[in-house]
Amino acid sequence: MKDSFKHKGMRQQLVKTIKRKGIKDKNVLEAIGKVPRHLFMDSGFLDHAYQDKPFPIGAGQTISQPFTVAYQTELLKVKKGDKILEIGTGSGYQAAVLLEMGAKVYSIERQKELFKKTSKFLPKIGYQPKKLVFGDGYKGMPDEAPFDGIVVTAGAPFVPKPLLDQLKIGGRLVIPVGEASQRMTLFIRKDENEFDKKEYDYFRFVPLLEDKN
């Protein structure tokens, strides 16, 4: 498991690419520049690791496209020490980006194998989330709520109410909403029962599944 000069160089190119595509937040760009994405994919795929593309990671799931990770993270407006909940741990790449930014990370994954693999893998390469849970993201993590930010990394057919309930006042939920394609949507909690909603670009995510199997 190593990070070479060559990897670092490729990563800087990736940072340039996503900057050109419109990501402005310096902290986000810096974090993308630090996380060794090639380690999150099976070996032999180095050429793919630093292209701005999603990639299969097994169990029919994908590691999100770096631009998409950056886009969602930018909308979250992460500050050091923020408590962030991620729905859909997957490879752990998004979690690592959040950890690089100094967030306290909580994440939920519904696929047992991925959950087990990523729970072992992240600490091995030096990333320590506060809590990784095997469970259903539609329910959020009520025991650890409220959160400064919640990011959903799978396409949600609707906005799960528990996720809105688990935001602090001023907290932000970033969620791709839709079936065939999803519109990136931001909710900011203004008050107990009041939320601001803003809509952004369209993306294609793997679906946020409702029933465990």
Active site amino acids: 64
CA distance 198 to 174: 10
Query: Any contact of residue 136 with ligand SAH (CB under 6 A)?
Result: yes
CB of 137 to ligand SAH, least distance (A): 3
165: Cβ–Cβ under 8 A, 6 or more apart, which residues?
A: 140, 145
Contact characters 1-40, ligand SAH, x per CB under 6 A: ----------------------------------------
Interacting residue with ligand SAH among 87, 145, 167, 184 (CB under 6 A): 87
Shortest Cβ 145–ligand SAH spacing (Å): 16
Closest to ligand SAH by CB, 78 vs 87, is 87
Shortest reach from residue 194's CB to ligand SAH, in Å: 27
Shortest Cβ 209–ligand SAH spacing (Å): 4
In angstroms, rounded to a whole number, what is the distance separating the alpha carbons of residues 74 and 78? 7
Among 36, 66, 88, 129, interactor with ligand SAH by CB under 6 A = 88
Handedness of CA 102, 85, 75, 184 (dihedral sign): positive
With contact defined as beta carbons under 8 Å apart, do 28 and 101 qualify? yes
Per rule CB under 6 A, is residue 108 in the interface with ligand SAH?
yes
* Contact footprint for ligand SAH (CB under 6 A): 61-64, 87-88, 90-91, 93-94, 108-111, 114, 136-138, 153-154, 206, 208-209
